[in-house]
């Protein structure tokens, strides 16, 4: 079944109680996506004119590496950690952020939940491409139902062999 962006986003925004529920159930943070240099170089070559936003950035390792490579990057997380690699993680529910066409959103190793589809749809509908980084086994649930153009970019982007797809609006 193909999802309808307006319905998914509206449904998500109406259930704002999830923010509090999620914060109460997130006691610890780990780094999941550990980017390899090849991935950072691809980002530098592809998004040098863009603001990179890591949605659900957790400890912010990707943001830190992109900044070191000279990119404009920041992270947002519904529940920012106290010991992040960067000290300016925005505390916000990712589907509620105001994405725009001069940005590129990253969704890397997301924990399960409706926020994945809602975030990607909110960004893509705003003209903001999405870089999804995850395990091949999550492709079917996270990306396949989306009514967008999905291009495979690379495998082996991180220490756990994550794959990368670029999600954009169909022409
Ligand atoms: C599995 S961790 C991955 C963190 C990071 N991307 C990494 O690879 O290390 C998922 C992160 O998504 C965040 N998250 C979950 N739901 C979110 C939402 N609705 N908006 C923003 N962040 C969210 C969690 O707080 C957590 O930090």
Residues with CB under 6 Å of ligand 1 are 22, 26, 31-33, 55-58, 77-79, 93-94, 108-111, 113, 115
The per-residue pLDDT for 74 is: 96
CA of 152 to the centre of ligand 1 (A): 22
Which residues, given as ranges, of the chain have pLDDT below 70? 14-28
The per-residue pLDDT for 167 is: 98
Degrees to nearest 5, angle at CA 99 with 128 and 33: 75
**H or E, element range at 6:** helix 5-14
User: Can you give the C-alpha Rg of the chain in angstroms?
Assistant: 15
CA 128 – CA 28 distance, rounded (Å): 30
Domains of the chain (ranges; CATH) run 5-13+32-168 (3.40.50.150)
Q: Could you tell which of 12, 58, 119 is best to mutate to test the pocket of ligand 1, judged by most ligand atoms within 8 Å of the CB?
A: 58
Nearest CA to ligand 1 atom 4: 58
| 54-83 pLDDT, tens digit each | 999 999 999 999 999 999 999 999 988 888
CA 171 – CA 162 distance, rounded (Å): 27
| 145-162 pLDDT, tens digit each | 999 999 999 999 999 999
CA 5 – CA 93 distance, rounded (Å): 17
CA of 58 to the centre of ligand 1 (A): 5
CA 109 – CA 164 distance, rounded (Å): 10
pTM: 0.91
The per-residue pLDDT for 109 is: 97
Degrees to nearest 5, angle at CA 93 with 89 and 98: 85
């Amino acid at each position: 079944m193909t999802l309808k962006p307006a319905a998914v986003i509206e449904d998500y925004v109406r259930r704002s109680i999830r923010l509090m529920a999620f914060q109460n159930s997130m006691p610890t943070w780990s780094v999941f996506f550990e980017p390899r240099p090849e991935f950072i170089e691809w980002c530098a070559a592809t998004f040098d004119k863009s603001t990179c936003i890591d949605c659900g950035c957790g400890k912010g390792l990707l943001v830190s590496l992109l900044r070191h490579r000279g990119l404009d990057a920041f992270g947002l997380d519904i529940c920012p950690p106290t010991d992040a690699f960067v000290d300016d993680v925005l505390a916000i529910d990712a589907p509620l952020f105001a994405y725009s066409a001069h940005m590129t959103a990253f969704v890397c190793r997301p924990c399960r939940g409706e926020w994945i589809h809602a975030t990607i749809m909110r960004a893509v509908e705003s003209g903001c491409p999405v870089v999804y980084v995850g395990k091949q086994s999550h492709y079917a649930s996270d990306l396949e139902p989306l009514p967008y153009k999905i291009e495979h970019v690379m495998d082996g982007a991180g220490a756990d062999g994550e794959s990368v797809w670029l999600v954009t609006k169909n022409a």
